[in-house]
A and B are shown apart, each in its own frame.
Chain A
Amino acid sequence: MTRPILQGFLAAMVVLAGCVQDRHKEAVTRIATPIDMSGHWEIDYSRSDNLQSQLNSVSRQVQREAARRSRLAEEGRGFTGSPLPGGRDLVTLARLAEIITEPALLDIMQDDARVRVKRDNSFALICENDGSGLTATNDALGVQRCGWDGEQLFFSLALQDGLDITHRLSRGGDSDSLLLVTSVETAAARVPLVVSQYFTRYDPEALGYRCQRTLTKGKVCTTQ
């Protein structure tokens, strides 16, 4: 093996070695059976998770794990697992989740090739997928994967600095509601904060005005 080839091989091995620990794995376990979610949806706060209670729930989970580890240590038995998040890590997680789950209106357009979930005050979640597998879209700031997992439409965003966001959309028990489950995870917290939000159908025409966001004028609302 000549010297440059050896250098190339070693460099490749170094990069591979760093990749053995995958940051994120996602399993799709069901056959894609897309369902119609199109229409206008508004959040139903009465049925949706309260962020504070979700944060409390994660805190209790962390405390229980801390207690378990402490018991194991007292008994002289070791344990495996990553360090537990501190209280401030969880607060950071909750503050991010608050921003990410802020949209209260969804406008879903759907055809055989594409689903577009427009969200007020945020970017749209767009998935071009024929139902045959996952679609990954890469750009400089992150990677989005999307697809149908059974009747659930999911989007997974892996952004810079270890910020991972997953959205799962499914129809609620009754046909007129939609469930959006958002999971937010950071490299520091290592525990996902999961927020469930229910949406119900609404008629935008009945509002008496229509709003449109444009690049040049921002959000413009006109009466009908």
Chain B
Amino acid sequence: MHYSVVISWFTTYCSLGVLATVVALYPQWSFAQNDIAPVRLVTTIDAPRPASPARFDVGITSESDVGNGSGTAIEASFRATEAILIGARMRREFQRSDDWGVVRLFPEGSVIPQLALSITVLASDGQQLELRVAARHVAGKLLLDRRYRDIASDEDYLGDRGDPFDDLYATIYRDVVRELSAHSPSESYLRTVSMLRYARGILPSAFSGYLEQVSGQWQVKRVPSDLDPMVLRLKRLQDYELLFVDTIDEQLTKLHDEVGAAYLQWLKASKTQLDWLEKRRERQVNTNEFTDESTFTSLQAVYAAYRSLKIHEQELFELVIDLEGETRSTQLYANERIFELTGTVEQQYREWRDTLRRIDALESDL
């Protein structure tokens, strides 16, 4: 069967333009979407870092909500990897001081750490980074839910300065510490809640009576004995779960080593091209006013800019795809057996948690 499809991208563009115009005239539409977490614009920070109120363990999860402009699977993979890199960067901010317990990246939310930080990447193009960050302690108190936006300057990319968005991570860190200091119960209390919530998740029938929820907050009603065999078993299962998280962590460290430099290059290239584009728009370039030579120069610059951005983007995307292929399986030694987990990190984490429940069920039958 023959068919004929006529696509007009310009019409599509223009339809979007109409929509954007209408939305711009009705700002309340966008407010309705955005008022959940007001944006905090980040500025340079020189003040000393505040100290953590206690040695909490920290669990960081990260995901991307950046629009997939190209709509391709490659870009989706890249954005997922970028979210991990940003989560790892946030972790390094916590690890800069010795005030904390263990700071880990978790594939999914967990009740094991006393402080959970959830990061959603909203925008990232080298010019700006916008994150939504929610921090919650394990007893359920929402400490913080904000959007942070940092605009990179040319100086941020000069020399060997590392991350151009350092100020953003430092600001988040400070806000978390401030809220935690103001609203947090004691470390030992949160560790108890953490242990009981974990136990409740594995064995709801045995541990549901130890906790109660009051206005969305978990409260300890009673505490099992440390010598309770079930508690000892659950602690071992928790160690196994952390073994998985730490194994994945090693893979993520490798990911950072492999992709980190290329990612920074891409950020830089993307910012350069976007800045160049903005400058052109500001000059209100009118092609009709070009001399013949400047027409060629202008069009050559357009092609060169596109080529440069694509080369950096493709090199990074290919690296991400290669690494993704390598990190699809994890071997773990636990309970005198070797387990092999496959799939995405999230799938492996779920599979491992199911395995731990089965181990517990088997042991409790003995």
- Of A7-15, A41-49, A72-80, the stretch lying at the interface with chain B is A7-15
A24 touches B277 (CB 8 A): no
Nearest A residue to B308 by beta-carbon distance? A123
Q: Is A124 an interface residue (CB 8 A)?
A: yes
Please report the C-alpha to C-alpha distance between residue A157 and residue B312 in the assembled complex, in whole angstroms: 18
- Minimum CB–CB distance for B82 against chain A, Å: 15
CB-contacts of A66-92 with B (<8 A) = 88-89, 91-92
For chain A, the bracket of interface size reads 35 or more
Chain A residues contacting B25 (CB-CB under 8 Å) are 4, 7-8, 11
- Of A51-59, A140-148, A175-183, A195-203, the stretch lying at the interface with chain B is A140-148
From A95, A133, A145, give the contact of B9 (CB < 8 A).
Answer: A145
A126 touches B314 (CB 8 A): yes
A22 touches B285 (CB 8 A): no
| A23, A92, A113, A134: most-surrounded residue (chain B CB, <10 A) | A92
From A31, A114, A139, A213, give the contact of B70 (CB < 8 A).
Answer: A139
Q: Is A222 an interface residue (CB 8 A)?
A: no
CB-CB under 8 A for A188 and B287, given A25-B8, A159-B303, A161-B302: yes
> How would residues 169 to 204 of chain B score, 1 for a CB under 8 Å from any chain A CB and 0 otherwise?
000000000000000000000000000000000000
Please report the C-alpha to C-alpha distance between residue A154 and residue B115 in the assembled complex, in whole angstroms: 52
CB-CB under 8 A for A4 and B261, given A92-B299, A163-B303: no
Please report the C-alpha to C-alpha distance between residue A81 and residue B261 in the assembled complex, in whole angstroms: 52
- Kindly count the residue-residue contacts between A and B in the assembled complex, taking CB atoms under 8 Å apart: 153
Chain B residues contacting A137 (CB-CB under 8 Å) are 69-72
Chain B residues contacting A188 (CB-CB under 8 Å) are 287, 295
- Of B10-18, B212-220, B222-230, B244-252, the stretch lying at the interface with chain A is B10-18
- Minimum CB–CB distance for A17 against chain B, Å: 10
B306 touches A128 (CB 8 A): no
Instruction: Name the 10 nearest CB pairs between A and B, nearest first.
Output: A19-B14, A123-B310, A137-B70, A88-B292, A8-B25, A12-B18, A92-B296, A22-B10, A160-B302, A11-B21
User: Which residues of B are interface residues toward A (Cβ below 8 A)?
Assistant: 1-15, 17-18, 21-22, 25-26, 69-74, 125, 261-262, 265, 273-274, 277, 280, 285, 287, 292, 295-296, 298-300, 302-303, 305-307, 309-312, 314-315
User: Which residues of A are interface residues toward B (Cβ below 8 A)?
Assistant: 4, 7-8, 11-12, 15-16, 18-19, 22-31, 88-89, 91-92, 95-96, 99-100, 113-114, 122-124, 126, 128, 133-143, 145, 157-163, 165, 186-188, 213-216
